[in-house]
Amino acid sequence: MPKPPTYDTPPGTRCPDCGCFCRVVPLLNEFDYAGTHCTYGQPGIHYPAGWGSPVSDCCEADIDLD
């Protein structure tokens, strides 16, 4: 399992969706899947595009740290 990145939250960071003060956290949207015919019976974990990207801890809204 990959280790998620860690992010420093700049002072005064606000969520772009709700406007509240927030922390910047990695997006953890992975999911387990059961073995099926398309995986030849092997279970596993799927990491969608964007996994680990910086998001707000309240709304999971994308945050640009640049």
pTM above 0.95, yes or no: no
Residue 1 confidence (pLDDT) above 80: no
Chain segment 14-60, per-residue pLDDT in tens: 999 999 999 999 999 999 888 777 778 888 899 999 999 999 999 99
What domain range is 8 assigned to? 1-66
Looking at the structure of the chain, the number of domains it has is 1
Q: Sort strands 31-33 and 24-26 into parallel, antiparallel or unpaired.
A: unpaired
Q: Is 13 or 33 the better-scoring residue by pLDDT? A: 13
- Helix (H) / strand (E) containing 26: strand 24-26
pLDDT band at 5; cut points 50, 70, 90: very high
Phi, psi of 39 (to 5 degrees): -110, 15
**pLDDT for 37:** 79
